[in-house]
Amino acid sequence: MIRYLVSATLALLIGVSTSQALAATQPYVRQAGTCDGFPRLSIGMAPGFCAGLVLSPAGDDFHHRQIKTPRMLSQLPDGRRWVLTDLGSWTAGLGKVWLLEVSSPQQVHVKELLTGLTMPHTVAFGPDGHIYVAEMNRIFRLDIDGDAAHATTVVDGLPGNRLHPGRHPLSHFEFDGNGDLLVNVGADTDQCTNAAGATPGPTCPESEGADARGVIRRYAYLGQGRWDSAGKVVARGLRNSLVLVRHSSGTILQAENSYDFAPNDERPYDEINVIRQGAHYGWPYCYDMGEATPAWARAGAMDCHSAAHEKPVLLLPPHAAPLGALYYSGAMFPALKGKLLMSWHGYRPSGSRVVAFDVDTSGVPVSTPHAHYAEYVEGGPVKLVDYGSGPGAEPLVLTPGWDLKAGSHPAGAPVGLAVAQDGALWVSDDRNASILRIAVDRP
């Protein structure tokens, strides 16, 4: 097996455009001492929390790292091993599934389980107790036998998820209480326009019909690890649902990565939605609480202020980019019990955070009167921005100091969240190819 060094240098590969204005390289630097036994990182944490480093690339050359783009992770029942998906690249055939064995903070080993995958993302336990993984166009059962693994497809040919020209090719799923699979298919475009920026007709063909994108589909559970191959649309108008999470009450929440109204970084807001059968959440016609998107403002395809547009239950900061969420059920942090935890992957000033929302008995985040969201700029004061008339919340920010800090740490890019058996929160950082562990602040 190949050994990763938890104390290795990590070079930061951040961003794909000059608008991000971030440094090209910056490793994580450990502080003196430990975070609950793991190497302590200098990320600024909420009081009572600390961040420890589980693994990051060994050696000085970030570009030759083994785990390229870690996305989501799940702990196996033995408590020592984890399954981790690795996107690999935004192209076909370079994704992998890894097995992590964490015998101690000083002994972290990784091994390839599957290779040649196309952008694997979600990993989760199913109603039959087996592990399931989502690739771009399929969902498969992962059977592990020692250090070997085998993939068995259970849902194939997911519609709409395409490498090119698709902007949102990743598949994400959540199991409903009856075992049904709820599966995201992201939108190919930003506002359903052609190369010239024009709308293709009175409505968006991309969002209509049986092969629609920007939707959530339900695949009925047939029992014994089998699902109906014909998915039925549950909800439309959702640009990219890489957060789907089910509360014990049965509520399904979705967090929306909203439009890119370049060069405006302040609108539109990202969203939290409650998924209801047959509802339309606005894409590509509407955004926020009832505004018409620029491309469709004159088309009259939807009255954004009417009941035809299902409004978000909560607004999130613009470009926060929510990618992971769970309801905390561990024992390590009693103050987080039952809260909705969410990772914000965005590289803009509100991103690079892990946050915790208070929720009601249905699992819906509770709005805060006159809510603000925080924008963080390294070396400067925190800027509080008013949500205005829309419903917002002021969650507990677990990682307020995760911006780029020269000589200390990169800007975080959290994706997957998982609660370990001991109650610690494990976080994958895909842009920096690392796994972090948030724990109670003790040596």
pLDDT tens for 23-57 read: 345 678 888 999 999 999 999 999 999 999 999 88
Give the closest residue to 124 by CA, choosing from 419, 422, 424: 419
Full residue range of the structural domain in which residue 130 is found: 2-440
| Residues ≥6 apart with Cβ < 8 Å to 163 | 90, 91, 92, 118, 136, 169
The count of structural domains within the chain is: 1
Give the closest residue to 302 by CA, choosing from 402, 372, 203, 227: 203
Average pLDDT value for residue range 363-384: 91
Cα–Cα distance for residue pair 120/137, rounded to 1 Å:
10
Tokens describing residue 399: 């990682």
**Which domain CATH number covers 210?**
2.120.10.30
3-state secondary structure of 296: helix
Q: Is the pLDDT of residue 19 over 70?
A: no
Q: ∠ at Cα 59 (58, 62), nearest 5°?
A: 85
C-beta of residue 67 within 8 angstroms of C-beta of residue 418: no
pTM of the full predicted structure? 0.93
* pLDDT one-digit tens code per residue, 290-345: 999 999 999 999 999 999 999 999 999 999 999 999 999 999 999 999 999 999 99
* 239 CB neighbour count, 10 Å cutoff: 27
Q: Is the pLDDT of residue 362 over 60?
A: yes
Q: Is the pLDDT of residue 12 over 70?
A: no
* pLDDT one-digit tens code per residue, 400-433: 999 988 888 899 999 999 999 999 999 999 999 9
Average pLDDT value for residue range 240-265: 93
pLDDT tier, 77 (very low <50, low <70, confident <90, very high otherwise): very high
